[in-house]
Structure 1
């Protein structure tokens, strides 16, 4: 009798846990559906805003605003880094960690002709601090400097500690030509080809109106935008509206955004003719593979909205 009571109690506990798990799953689904609907409503508003034309004159006017914002943002980032430094010093850290935090970073600067110099940088420095030193030593205005790390540009507002994972930093210095630095000359060149963006100065890459115009021409241009714009939801939508394959230039977090993924699949499956079906299928398959593990699982479970977008059937 005692064993039977224990069995019933265990069964009741298991049933309660199962019911609780189902309840949590339902609540999570409701929360996700609510977030998706909010994002879709936001998307409708963004589509209306993005349908407005942007003139070269507006881009030039916006550049002055961007430059002022970046100066303010630089001060803000410095304050945050200083506060973080004070907090870490005040916390009880091991000697090893404390030593690691206080270590300087060797920043090697090269140009097309070879090595220029090595700068001993503090971990709390920004990329802007390296450019200021180069402005003094190489007599190159900070705004004209582009610093390449690997196959991409680094932005003035990026902390060095976020770039130096282990060992020294190796930057390649590129000096911007007038048409890649002066906003009026840049806009003239930009109207001929958006690809001039990949040679532009850091401040021009941070101009949202210029990036918007570039995305209306080609989704690949998002890869050349400043970090703050590469993570901007509006810019991500513009890129995905051009092609679902734009998912490959989005951040992993944005690849987790269901409305964006749904839009990407819809973009790749717009063609309805039988001759285009096979091509569209493989484009959609590639788009699917670009999504995160979570969204892949959702699709494998049979996400009805994504299934409808790909097949045209409910």
Structure 2
């Protein structure tokens, strides 16, 4: 099947831990090898070990696959060094090193590739180079028809400054994949700026789990209203938690006030003024609150 006759598969995983990495990437690798495809894995040594265990658990002899050339394991850091000969990502070096390997194996049949060099670039504070690397991969995949799964550590989502970059990364992939239930909690100062900070943090999380557009924006609206409502009425530091599964996104905002939330009818509409719990009630599949220590937690579930 020619490249023009099939869709290029370029997915991204923001893994919470090695179990999720093995459950998603390891399973794809094992399935590719079982189907007789060639596989190229560019990973850290520890993750190479994780994949070898998952492949072996599927009844595939990974050592034999390496010996006969079906499986190629490359060290991510060493390979990345080859792509940065002058201290910055070089697309021509990528084409020479990675491109030649992919083309050679595509000539034999379908190819599955896994890569986490992009994660190393993020970790080194070079997100723009990671995006350039993703772009180079996209060009190679369109040319060859190979499939690729990229992986980033979920800890990147902790930094609201990565919001723009995470959005760009997700936009360069055909799909965002996940295996485990996502759960993350942050502490906020409880100031007016906490609303925008909360939106950035939650937006990263939603993108990393492939939350659909409607639920994405509904959840961000709910987050904004819950956080700003707590800022206005509780006036204490806040906790923000988001839990994402296949069916719902649950948002929980905790504050130090014991007073229950009150749904008020909105007054005259003003620009940049929150619309409160009335909006939350309209967007959420269900919502409520519960005591928590000396304060409370207000929560809302948004359907996906």
TM-score (normalised: structure 2): 0.28
Please state which structure has a larger fraction of its residues in helix: 1
Please state which structure has a larger fraction of its residues in strand: 2
TM-score (normalised: structure 1): 0.28
Q: Which has the larger radius of gyration?
A: 1
Q: Which has the higher contact order (CA 8 A, sep 6+)?
A: 2
